[in-house]
């Protein structure tokens, strides 16, 4: 049975994106991460767990969750070997999450964003789907094989692909404005940035490796 877990991290949190997801979360869990707690507090949305070192969230907010709620608390020393969001991802997996939605993972410091993108590999390697979501971007990982992206279901008109780590062999894109066939996709180049779905769907396939897929749209 599918179990969606929503992680609310401390980056940019847009009401238009976050509130429909959080208010529609009837099953599964909500995990508030450090400064993301302030968004939940302001909108009176109760998390099932709160996670972090709480060094960037108002004391009265943390005190409220400690003293007035039954939320599970996972507090860590600021001197630690993983980001708060990574810790929340690992917690979500131990709770049996099969579909993770990470909000507030973008819009702030680039180092935090890149750490969050790389952390997607943790659930991916365990067979758990996880995606980072904001008003302009949906980011998730793909493994070897064939993936179909329908135009009607895509997050936006553009998509970009980047290798996660090593070279990706046999990389092929069909049904796109810029097709590619049996290519060796290497790190550190921008060949597959801002492609577009040309027909009803795009098919991405490759024989080895992992890629980051970003479905994107311009700011309204």
Per residue in 62-91, pLDDT tens?
Answer: 899 988 889 999 887 665 667 889 999 999
pLDDT at 1: 67
pLDDT at 108: 78
pLDDT at 76: 75
Tell me how far CA of residue 184 lies from CA of 146, 165, 171, 205, 206, in angstroms.
Answer: 16, 13, 6, 12, 9
Place of tokens 């599964």: 28
Tokens describing residue 192: 């597959």
- How many Cα atoms sit within 13 Å of 128 on the Cβ side? 24
pLDDT reading at 145 higher than 90? yes
Strand ranges in the chain using DSSP code E only, listed in sequence order: 4-8, 29-33, 49-52, 72-75, 99-103, 129-133, 137-150, 158-163, 168-174, 180-185, 195-196, 201-216
Please, are residues 137 and 158 in contact by the beta-carbon 8 Å criterion? no
């Amino acid at each position: 049975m599918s179990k969606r877990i929503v992680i609310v991290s401390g980056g940019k949190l847009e009401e238009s994106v976050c509130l429909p997801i959080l208010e529609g979360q009837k099953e599964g869990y909500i995990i508030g991460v450090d400064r993301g707690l302030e968004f939940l507090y302001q909108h009176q949305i109760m998390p099932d767990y709160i996670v972090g070192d709480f060094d960037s969230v108002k004391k009265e907010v943390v005190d409220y969750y400690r003293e007035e709620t039954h939320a599970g608390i996972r507090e860590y020393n600021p001197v630690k070997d993983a980001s708060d969001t990574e810790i929340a991802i690992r917690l979500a997996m131990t709770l049996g999450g099969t579909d993770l939605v990470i909000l507030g993972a973008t819009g702030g410091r680039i180092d935090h964003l890149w750490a969050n993108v790389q952390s997607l590999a943790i659930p991916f390697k365990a067979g758990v789907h996880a995606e980072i979501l904001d008003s302009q971007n949906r980011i998730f990982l793909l493994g070897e094989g064939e993936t179909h992206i329908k135009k009607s279901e895509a997050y936006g008109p553009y998509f970009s692909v980047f290798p996660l780590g090593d070279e990706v062999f046999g990389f092929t894109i069909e049904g796109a404005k810029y097709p590619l066939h049996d290519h060796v996709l290497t790190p550190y180049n921008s060949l597959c940035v801002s492609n577009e779905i040309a027909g009803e769907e795009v098919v991405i396939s490759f024989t080895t490796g992992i890629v980051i897929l970003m479905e994107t749209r311009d700011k309204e």
